Structure 1
Amino acid sequence: MPLLLFPISPPCVPPPRPRLRRLSPPPPMAAVAPPSLSTPVTILPSVSVALPPLPPPATDDFHWLDLFAFLNSPADSYQIPVEEQEVEVEVEVEVGVERERERERERERARKAEHRRLRQRQVKAETEAWARAADEYRELEREMLDRRLAPALPYVKSLFLGWFEPLRDAIARDQEVQRRKRVKHVYAKYLLLLPADKVAVIVMHKMMGLLMSSKDGVASVRVVQAAHCIGEAVEREFKVQTFFQKTRKKSAGENDLALEKEQAKCRKRVKSLVRRRKLTEAQKIVQQEIELEEWGTESQVKLLYSHQLTKHQRVLQIFDQHLNTRLKKKHWVIECDPLVHEGFESTARHVEIPYLPMLVTPKKWKGYDTGGYLFLPSYIMRTHGVKDQKEAIKSVPRKQLRKVFEALDTLGSTKWRVNRRVHNAVETIWSRGGGIAGLVDKENIPLPERPETEDPDEIQKWKWSLKKAKKANRELHAERCDTELKLSVARKMREEDGFYYPHNLDFRGRAYPMHAHLSHLGSDLCRGVLEYAEGRPLGKSGLRWLKIHLANKYGGGIEKLSHEDKVAFVENQLPDIFDSATNPVDGNCWWMNAEDPFQCLAACMDLSDALKSSSPQCAVSHLPIHQDGSCNGLQHYAALGRDYMGAAAVNLVPGDKPADIYSEIAARVLDVVREDSMEDPATNPTASLARVLVDQVDRKLVKQTVMTSVYGVTYIGARQQITKRLQEKGLITDDKLLYEVSCYATRVTLDALGQMFQSARGIMAWLGDCAKMIASENHPVKWTSPVGLPVVQPYKKYKNYMIALQRQKAAFPPNFVHSLDSSHMMMTAIACKKAGLHFAGVHDSFWVHACDVDKMNQILREQFVELYSMPILENLLKEFQTSFPTLEFPPCPSQGDFDVREVLASTYFFN
């Protein structure tokens, strides 16, 4: 008896209702091949079920039904399966899929609910930010009230509001006394020339200007200096007021109308100059129009001499006048109460506090002031009030800024969190007083005691050492405040699962987090405390890059080795690395010897976790791995000029190990110094300086100067850099000798740079010449970066709003290169985002997860080649010629034979 096998619907599940459709007639049966089963038939247990006979089919109309003629078998029963295991499996799969879909829907609902909760917290944090700042101001105000310093609020206008009435009344009483006297005081002649309210305003403005512009952070001014400045301002105001009064009077005669028009024009000109603070020019016009005798310095000082200022300061209650005896010539000084100065510092410090890291992804950038924070004011560029730059970025089409918006959105979408283990180590060291692992010491440097001798030389040395110690303590105080701000943000964000940094740009296009204190742009402390919120498995390549990253952060010359040597170094240090990870503060503290100690500690912990796991390559890592350019400014100059020699020096050309430009320059400097040291000091004055310097030339001595040479460092700036390095060595104690040796070392270093990078020097000179021509027309230098960002140099003379020619010229080469490195970073960020990488960038340092380093390295090289496949200098020249058609710009510098595509194979281009 044949078994009949056909699908049977499972119990309790109705069979699907067949769909009816019109069928076309089949071909004749002779042309139809017998059907074959696509799947094997399984014989299942069956039972007999009685069925009625089927009527014969109408095969005349449907010949294809003959294929199923066996359905009309004469048998009296059919065999139908009851248990079907395949059907049960299908049902279970469908139920499992449905359950998984439901779980996914639940997870999605939970994610949306969590996002709503975080967004509500973010909205609350932003809207309450200014309220918190106001509370802090009120607390400081209460402290001032307790000390009877009510007028000294932490903002200048409030200070003036508190001072004005008592000061005006005191001056008015003094004026009235002088009017009644037969024999008036020496200063009465000048004090009575202006109303008391104007004198009070002049005194307030001049005193605050002098105190806030005082040097060394001390709010003090000499009495004579204050009296002279106030007297000079009173004289100027008196002359201007006299000028306005005289020119308003109607003159007799036939030319009255013409004279009145001329005087009105003159008055308008003087008012305009005074409003724009061009007081010298206004004074010249006044002097020409009216004849008034000059007061002279003696008369100006008499107006408010010492005891007069003393009376006014008693009214204000925040100034102290005392005799300064620290110098040979004793003099009276006026000092401001320290609490007032703290109020000003607090005001400046709290301005940026509202801009904390965000709990949700920042708004996408869509315009100049649309993007970033949800409610706090956010601007895509930090224009610092420069109208030209603001108008330039507002005027370009939004489509032109698409890449800029996309890059900033990419940087802002990277999710961060606090590395709690590193943060614990930082807090432990800080609670113990700091002073190690790069943390500032909480204790001040002790001040040297005054020597008992009266020897003038010894006294002078003591004064210099005292001055240096006080300066160092002020710097330590500033560093402590900065460290505490960073740690306060870390404590606040420590328990968050993640947070984001909205980014905006400076005028050159470089991206910066809008939060100022704790960000990956900051110091080693900041970078060590931060990590990616989302982790990724290391993989084989990621484990290797983690070791290379640890070696780079340890430094000490290790960063100059090949990748293989770096990996070997780390593997040889594994016991110290494990000890650093498990007992960072009380162990052998190997990580504290690193150049970037907290970043090194974070890498030690990450590597230790991976190697101690059952499968190191499967360990999840949250650590961002850095790939840094090799003297990136010179890399861009070498690519611009197609300079093969310069390209090889900065790793644009493939090599077995990284080329170190700093060591190369140091070697050249050392060769010159050695040659000079062998000369006779009688014939070669530099010989004696070379002999002092010869044992101190190393990579560190020249590194900062080489690094900043492409950014327009001046001779004076380079000398100061080298002086600081020599001071750190501590081998030269005589200040005069230190200065002379620094000058000599600076000259040799800059000469070595010029010889190695002649092409870069030529491009810098060409850029400077073009900038000089544009600035000579009283126009700022402006251009468009390769990603479409308009750039305008903001340098003007603030006294007359004219273009600062020299600064426009000197700043253009470094600013132009900065616009190129920012373009490369933006292009790389966009490409990494499309490739699914979590990207972070700090100018010429690009960060991703360890497992993604190889992919990012490929991307950043491809983007560099794409950038320099553009005719950048030619496009810049065309833009200048279009903007200034009347100027004859010099042609672009000639280029070398370097093929920029060699970068694709350069392992150490970024490493």
Structure 2
Amino acid sequence: MPLSRRIHKFLEKTKKNKVDKKNDDERDKFNAEIKEQEKLRKKVTDLIKKQKLPAVRQIVKGQDDTKPWGQDAKAKVGSHLIELLMQTAYIQPPADQLADCPPDVRPAFVHSLRTVVKENKKTGRRYGVIECDPLVRKGLERTARHMVIPYMPMLVPPVKWTGYDRGAYLFLPSYIMRTHGVKQQREAVKRTSRKQLEPVFEALDTLGCTKWRVNKRVLNVVDRIWTSGGHLADLVDRKDVPLPEKPDSEDEALLRKWKWKVRSVKKENRERHSLRCDVELKLAVARKIKDEEGFYYPHNLDFRGRAYPMHPYLNHLGSDLCRGILEFAEGRPLGKSGLRWLKIHLANLYAGGVDKLSHEGRLAFTENHLDDIFDSADRPLEGKRWWLKAEDPFQCLAVCINLTEALRTSSPETFVSHTPVHQDGSCNGLQHYAALGRDKLGAASVNLVVGEKPADVYSGIAARVLDIIRRDAQKDPAVFPDALHAKVLVNQVDRKLVKQTVMTSVYGVTYIGARDQIKRRLKERGVLTDDKEIFGASCYAAKTTLTALGEMFQAARAIMNWLGECAKIIASENQPVRWTTPLGLPVVQPYRVLGRHLIKTSLQVLTLQRETEKVMVKRQRTAFPPNFVHSLDGSHMMMTAVACKKAGLTFAGVHDSYWTHASDVDKMNRILREKFVKLYEIPILENLLESFQQSFPTLCFPPLPERGDFDLRDVLESPYFFN
């Protein structure tokens, strides 16, 4: 219950507390109670006038005899409130739409039961659905920019973290970890001493104290595009796709094709609607805070120890749209080094292979496109629109504007820049595996060693896949059926086709996941049109890509298999996998079998999910390798954040992408390399095995996989480790 309501309830109670006076003893007792409550009431009123809320909260808490509602009570009350809303809320079209017709007054919300049958299943499940009238939905879309969003960015620095639920926002409930109701994880964090969690608190406070502001020039361009219908710079089209007309024919094949197209268009329109809502929310926040001098993003963690801003919509972890709109509130002079990095950053954002050139090659790219950059800054929508061809168009536009302003001053090196410059890891998951396994071959593939230009692991895997496919294409289809798919794919294999699969391989991507990723890429290209042919080619390409990955990253695969085997042994004892990150954060994997709990309400019977005591063995095993690596990259980012703050740098982190001012990139590069080496000088796998053996002394775990002789300190001299 909110504090204001509890205070009101307490004051009302002290005013109106009357009882029947059956005898003198009861009367005396009653009078004493009344006097005591009058004293308390006067004390609370005085404290409120003096704005001493903590003291008020303490008194009210001591007098509050209410108990929290259980899940059943909440569900029943909530369902009844929805029922009352449906009984009382009606809507009528505007008068100009009625003409001479009688008023069309109808319910604004309707409850119905639907049976949903999933693909490849014969039976479906029944769901209760609350539908709003189309007029209500349109009204909500129009007023989206005025909606109240509670967890907004803060205008003052966040409260420092001191405990599980103490820190971040001043009044809104704030928890250091997003546990989603997982009791064991929540209790593990609560039991951990404040001293052990101090490095985590310090890192989150550092991330939360970075001051941001809205880039008004970029926001103005976004608003113009959105007002004119979207569909530029990766913004969704604001119009729906028209439904195909029904063919004037009885031909069943034609009708089946038409029905398939209708389903496809409806799905596309649902996705567009969802994306439009997302854009509206982001822009609503940007418009609300665009005139503020600066604002802050309180951060907390997911259960693996990765940091996230608590405000969910407009933040630097978001899309290119969000990142283009945001910039550091504090500016710093570029200097010679900053001007160089701003140009490199522009080439990185433009991408299209440019980001795989050496630093000098990227500088040359920017220098060769200065006219396009100036035109983009001066006439973003009326000119040549060069920035729209970038892989990250809005961020590219922001840097075009910033670089143009700098180069047009008499002294570009003294120009004050607010633009964050990113340094991104090269397939960061594989970098962590290479460091864990001291793998020389893997380290060279992901830029842990010195090179004249960045090694591109995606292109390396694509080349290996192409070699296999070319060989298979020469085979006899009668003996080797996949030869047909190989012939189709010979001209389709490139780094983009395999990139997502390579990127997610270290996070446990399955064959089915890889197949679906490649299938999406093939559909986007439109070269293959037959669904059956696309599916067959995707299956073959996924299998070939995973084979190539296994060949190139044997050490990473060995560590992944070892982690999975350990998890399987632990989960087979009906125990979740637990470990402690290098920064002292306890992690408990949350995967348990879900049971069903039925609640009969006034609307319908609700089926709620509840965790049981039984762990999901397969999920515990498959999720452990990626979760463990995520806990390590989260540790590296937080170690870097704290060190950057101590060095006087402004820092923001997006998992494996580190941001600072252009002038400070060289300093941040040195720090992040030093922290990576420091992290992996810790015997991480040895400590993990020891913790498993201590927790489960009766179980037998496999020996640690063999490791290579890669020298970690080579990372300190690698220019493209993060670049």
Tell me the equivalent position of 1:713.
509
2:535 maps to 1:612 = no
Tell me the equivalent position of 1:425.
221
Residue deviations 1:53-93 (CA, integer Å, cap 9, x gap): xxxxxxxxxxxxxxxxxxxxxxxxxxxxxxxxxxxxxxxxx
Distance 1:865 1:460 in 2: 60
Q: CA deviation at 1:159?
A: 2.6
Tell me the equivalent position of 1:355.
151
Letter in 2 for 1:709: S
Residue deviations 1:743-769 (CA, integer Å, cap 9, x gap): 000000000000000001100010001
2:702 maps to 1:890 = yes
Distance 1:683 1:154, change over 3 A: farther
Tell me the equivalent position of 2:684.
872
Residue deviations 1:114-163 (CA, integer Å, cap 9, x gap): xxxxxx9xx9xxxxxxxxxxxxxxxxxxxxxxxxxxxx999534135679
**Which runs of structure 2 are paired with 1:170-185 in the superposition (5 Å)?**
none
The higher-RCO structure (CA 8 Å, 6+ apart) is 2
Residue deviations 1:356-415 (CA, integer Å, cap 9, x gap): 000000000000001000010000000111000000001011000111000000000000
User: Structure 1 residue aligned with 2:543, among 728, 734, 747?
Assistant: 747
Larger deviation: 539-548 or 795-804? 795-804
User: Structure 2 residue aligned with 1:835, among 647, 652, 668?
Assistant: 647
Distance 1:337 1:828 in 2: 48
**Which runs of structure 2 are paired with 1:330-479 in the superposition (5 Å)?**
337-339=131-133, 353-479=149-275
Q: Is the 8 A contact 2:117 2:124 kept in 1?
A: no
2:87 maps to 1:158 = no
Q: Is the 8 A contact 2:451 2:718 kept in 1?
A: yes
SS of 2:615 mapped into structure 1 = coil
Tell me the equivalent position of 2:335.
539
2:525 maps to 1:729 = yes
TM-score, normalising length: structure 2: 0.81
Residue deviations 1:442-467 (CA, integer Å, cap 9, x gap): 11112111122222222212111111
Distance 1:620 1:738 in 2: 51
SS of 1:816 mapped into structure 2 = helix
Tell me the equivalent position of 2:670.
858
Q: Is the 8 A contact 2:112 2:128 kept in 1?
A: no
User: Structure 1 residue aligned with 2:487, among 691, 701, 704?
Assistant: 691
Tell me the equivalent position of 2:607.
none
User: Structure 2 residue aligned with 1:645, among 441, 465, 477?
Assistant: 441
User: Structure 1 residue aligned with 2:317, among 507, 518, 521?
Assistant: 521
Q: Is the 8 A contact 2:303 2:588 kept in 1?
A: yes
Distance 1:209 1:798 in 2: 26
Larger deviation: 893-902 or 153-162? 153-162
**Which runs of structure 2 are paired with 1:278-317 in the superposition (5 Å)?**
none
Letter in 2 for 1:844: D
Q: CA deviation at 1:655?
A: 0.3
Letter in 1 for 2:210: T
Q: What is the root-mean-square deviation of aligned Cα atoms in Å?
A: 2.6
2:700 maps to 1:700 = no
Distance 1:413 1:454, change over 3 A: same
User: Structure 2 residue aligned with 1:681, among 472, 477, 483?
Assistant: 477
Between structure 1 and structure 2, the one with the greater Rg is: 1
Q: Is the 8 A contact 1:352 1:516 kept in 2?
A: no
Distance 2:117 2:170 in 1: 40
Distance 1:644 1:374, change over 3 A: same
Distance 1:377 1:860, change over 3 A: same
Number of residue-to-residue matches in the alignment: 606
Distance 1:757 1:342 in 2: 54
SS of 2:594 mapped into structure 1 = coil
The answer for unaligned runs of 5 or more in structure 1 is 1-119, 124-151, 165-206, 217-221, 230-332
Distance 1:154 1:511, change over 3 A: farther
Distance 1:763 1:549 in 2: 34
**Which runs of structure 2 are paired with 1:759-798 in the superposition (5 Å)?**
759-798=555-594
Letter in 2 for 1:158: L
Residue deviations 1:790-811 (CA, integer Å, cap 9, x gap): 0010000111441011100000
Distance 2:629 2:112 in 1: 38
Q: CA deviation at 1:353?
A: 2.1
TM-score, normalising length: structure 1: 0.64
Distance 1:750 1:208 in 2: 47
Distance 2:549 2:197 in 1: 37
Letter in 2 for 1:464: W
Distance 1:225 1:893 in 2: 46
Distance 2:250 2:234 in 1: 40
Q: CA deviation at 1:338?
A: 3.2
Distance 2:372 2:245 in 1: 44
SS of 2:177 mapped into structure 1 = coil
Letter in 1 for 2:180: H
Q: CA deviation at 1:512?
A: 0.4
Tell me the equivalent position of 1:824.
636
Letter in 2 for 1:854: D
Distance 2:359 2:147 in 1: 45
Q: CA deviation at 1:675?
A: 1.1
Distance 1:351 1:763 in 2: 48
Q: Is the 8 A contact 2:178 2:301 kept in 1?
A: yes
Q: Is the 8 A contact 1:434 1:442 kept in 2?
A: yes
SS of 1:855 mapped into structure 2 = helix
2:395 maps to 1:583 = no
Residue deviations 1:798-841 (CA, integer Å, cap 9, x gap): 11441011100000000000000000000000000000000000
**Which runs of structure 2 are paired with 1:589-668 in the superposition (5 Å)?**
589-668=385-464
**Which runs of structure 2 are paired with 1:319-338 in the superposition (5 Å)?**
337-338=131-132
User: Structure 2 residue aligned with 1:569, among 332, 350, 365?
Assistant: 365
Distance 1:548 1:396, change over 3 A: same
Q: CA deviation at 1:339?
A: 4.0
Q: CA deviation at 1:625?
A: 0.2
Q: CA deviation at 1:335?
A: 7.6
Q: CA deviation at 1:214?
A: 4.1
Distance 1:483 1:510 in 2: 25
Distance 1:720 1:393, change over 3 A: same
Distance 2:476 2:84 in 1: 70
Distance 1:898 1:782 in 2: 29
SS of 1:761 mapped into structure 2 = helix
SS of 1:848 mapped into structure 2 = strand
Tell me the equivalent position of 1:813.
625
Residue deviations 1:463-493 (CA, integer Å, cap 9, x gap): 1111111101100000000001000000001
Distance 1:480 1:337 in 2: 19
Q: Is the 8 A contact 2:111 2:131 kept in 1?
A: no
User: Structure 2 residue aligned with 1:497, among 286, 293, 310?
Assistant: 293
Q: Is the 8 A contact 1:352 1:515 kept in 2?
A: no
Q: Is the 8 A contact 2:113 2:129 kept in 1?
A: no
Larger deviation: 746-755 or 798-807? 798-807
Letter in 2 for 1:645: L
Q: Is the 8 A contact 1:154 1:340 kept in 2?
A: no
Q: Which has the higher strand share?
A: 2
Distance 1:695 1:617, change over 3 A: same
Distance 1:793 1:587, change over 3 A: same
Distance 1:668 1:581 in 2: 41
Distance 1:379 1:462, change over 3 A: same
